[in-house]
Amino acid sequence: MLDALLDKSVVGYTALGYRWRPHSPIEADLSGRVALVTGASSGLGRATATALARLGATCIIVGRNPQKTAAVCEEIRSETGNPNVRTEIADLSLMREVRALADRISGPIHLLVNNAGVLLPKREETEEGLERTLATNLLGHFLLTNLLTDKLEAPARIINVSSGGMYTQRIRLDDLEMKKGRYDGAVAYARTKRGQVILTELWAKRLEPRGIVVHSMHPGWADTAGVSESLPRFYKLTKPLLRTPEQGADTIVWLCASEEAGCTTGRFWHDRRPRPTHRIRGTRESREEQEGLWTALEGMLAG
């Protein structure tokens, strides 16, 4: 009853929502498993990589800044006592760097956490001519995941880190790069997070015969640099209620490690429970639109 009430209220997104829901310790042994985590030099990604390393996984942490990512790698090794943590440097908004990253990964990969993301105040294009929010949050992970598919060793899991903000938007196939009208960074972000949930369902169907599980999740409102820098007013108002990065990452780690999460595929989770993917009338996409997103992203990569 309490969980249902929290799930219908923004209170469920806060630290209070996390504390009021049960979260038993994750005690899985991930020794011999290889995890690749994007956006791992801070926030949710760092917390996820630290927790997976503590459970014994070999971790590949992906970041954009070589010095910062190397320092985080050393910190994770020290904090967890796990020496099997290494770095890869790539900007997920640049498709050439995504391709180079995939080429460097020899495999096998057992856990792929697509976490890197940006929320920008104004519209930007990368040097490859792509809108940066779409490129980082959606297209880069679409390309990376598809390039790594043959290197995923079953039983493998792919976890896509979405956002509760995706509930407010539907996918717009006619304007994926938000060239029409006034640009709104929060809307652009939410649309890409909606796209991640759609891709999760498509990947789940495509990869289930290979024994690969695919889930998406939202972490609630977490106290990360991304939130404080991208949404300063929201951050100032909600800071006392924000989750720690570790609380926000808890469901990511649970989806990677728990037996329960491996029994299903294609679901959207929050605080270790499956949640509906739509709450507002008008955000639901058709099957044709789902497949249309896949086709549109393929077309952008081919162009």
Q: Which of 241, 45, 24 is nearest to 161 (CA)?
A: 45
Structure-derived torsion over alpha carbons of residues 230, 128, 135, 74, reported in degrees to the nearest 10: -70
Q: Is 13 a catalytic residue?
A: no
Rounded-to-integer distance, Cα 30 and Cα 20, Å: 28
240 preceded by cis ω (within 30°)? no
- Dist CA 50 CA 231 (whole Å): 26
Residue 246 CA to residue 269 CA, distance in Å, equals 16
Cβ neighbours around 15 below 10 Å, total: 20
Give the span between the Cα atoms of 259 and 278, in whole angstroms: 26
The catalytic residue among 13, 18, 167, 189 is: 189
Residues marked active site are found at 189
